[in-house]
Amino acid sequence: MNREEAVELLKEHVKTDRVYRHSLAVEAAMIAYAKKFGEDTDRWGLLGLLHDLDFEKFPEVHPAKAPELLADTGFDQTFVDSILSHGIDPDVPRDLMERKALHAVDEMASFIIAVALMRPTKFEGLKAKSVKKKMKDKAFARAVNREELVSSMEDMGVEFADHIDTIVSGLKEHESMLNEQGYSLLG
């Protein structure tokens, strides 16, 4: 399945802009990490793009229904398992780098977008320092579990500033690609 087909599949199951935008943000961050680690950018991008495929239709059991929605797509079992691994208390261990990365960028990519939206220059010049400040601000994006943001990053073995820089650069790059298609991660 190529990106275009994956976007189509995603749009079939995800109707709200919130989840759609989040999927693109996680895609962007996964591509950035695949580049950084010399991994398969297409695969990691698709993992990000499709990780919340079943979230809207099956919020109670998400991501357990993802395999069903991915049936007949040709993705290998490891790919499907990697999507399963990002859930809370997953049955699949986060033992592969693509799983650790997916878990670490999932909430952080959207948190960074929330921070960017508060800044006049958006992603431009957005540093780890600003993200850290907002993480300490309990009233800001209060639904986001700060401990999870940190522990998932630590599990991946990356430093905070490096983590933020990688995700921001991915988001920036994706934003210009999406802008050309008339879409924006910034709403």
Contact positions vs Fe ion (CB under 5 A): 52, 106
Shortest Cβ 32–Fe ion spacing (Å) = 16
For Cα atoms 111, 106, 186, give the angle at the middle one, nearest 5 degrees.
Answer: 45
Select 106 or 175, whichever has its Cβ closest to Fe ion: 106
Select 27 or 52, whichever has its Cβ closest to Fe ion: 52
Q: Cα–Cα distance between 54 and 152 in angstroms, integer?
A: 22
Shortest Cβ 61–Fe ion spacing (Å) = 11
Select 48 or 166, whichever has its Cβ closest to Fe ion: 48
Shortest Cβ 121–Fe ion spacing (Å) = 26
Tokens of 83: 């999507």
Q: Is-cis flag, bond preceding 90, omega within 30?
A: no
| Nearest CA-CA partner of 175 in 137, 132, 124 | 124
